[in-house]
Amino acid sequence: MSRNRVEYVYNQIRQGILDGEYSPSQHLVETHLAETYDVGRHIVRLALERLSAEGLVTIGPNRGAIVSQLTLEDVVDILLAREVLEGAAARLAAERISQETLDDLNDLLDVMREAIDKREFDRYSQTNVRFHGRIYEASGSKKIPELIRVLRARVVRSQFRTILVPGRAEKSLEEHRAIVEAFRTGDGSVAEEAMRAHIAALRETITESWELVRS
């Protein structure tokens, strides 16, 4: 039961950080969180320790827990690591991808197109996560997707806000289409190159528009 409560509080705080309910550099007060989620402080403390291990929270002596504030250099480093890992996942996926998965990816591209046209940016972001998730599944790897998801969580707010950069949504969709076309070739190196180009473009956009995406 205690483990379930830790999981619940962890998920609630984590989502609050990703959604912006808890802002970078904000103090996370144990007593307040315990009251909010109707649990004991020890449950909150265990949840915060998990978030600290993911890099979403910083716990310091005599300071308590603070929502981590990433610098541009931090984000660039994380995206460089993601570029390698997501490229590897795409390479593996290309070697074993099924027609069913290709059809699913094309369906998701259609949803992304519609989301852009309707300016439904939350929907676009959620579909983007599903798109990449299907690729992780197709890769057949267990550890690579785990590592990617930890890294994605740390930059998800900045990544989401890139959709506000003029022209980025259309460019992102083109990059996703190129990834699917690469899968059709069955060539792992082509798929890896397409995926790495996509993450590199994301990194470039964040670098050029840091003042917009950091807030």
Domain end marker among 29, 52, 67: 67
Domain enclosing residue 194, as ranges: 72-213
Q: How many folded domains does the chain comprise?
A: 2
Q: For 162-202, what is each residue's pLDDT tens digit?
A: 988 999 999 999 999 999 999 999 999 999 999 999 999 99
Among 39, 67, 95, where does a domain finish?
A: 67
Same domain as 208, residue 110: yes
- Same domain, yes or no: 8 and 77: no
The four Cα atoms 11, 32, 28, 7 give a dihedral, to 10 degrees, of -20
Q: Which two tokens stand for residue 82?
A: 């993601």
User: CB burial class (10 A; 0-12, 13-18, 19+) of residue 44?
Assistant: buried
Q: Are residues 82 and 29 in the same domain?
A: no
Both 56 and 23 in one domain: the answer is yes
pTM of this structure: 0.82
Q: Does one domain contain both 82 and 188?
A: yes
Task: Tell me if residue 64 falls in helix, strand or coil.
Answer: strand
Alpha carbon distance 105, 208 (integer Å): 29
Q: Are residues 193 and 145 in the same domain?
A: yes
182 in Cβ contact with 47 (< 8 Å): no
Where a domain ends, among 67, 86, 118? 67
Give residue-wise pLDDT tens across range 6-60.
999 999 998 888 777 888 889 999 999 999 999 999 999 999 999 998 888 999 8
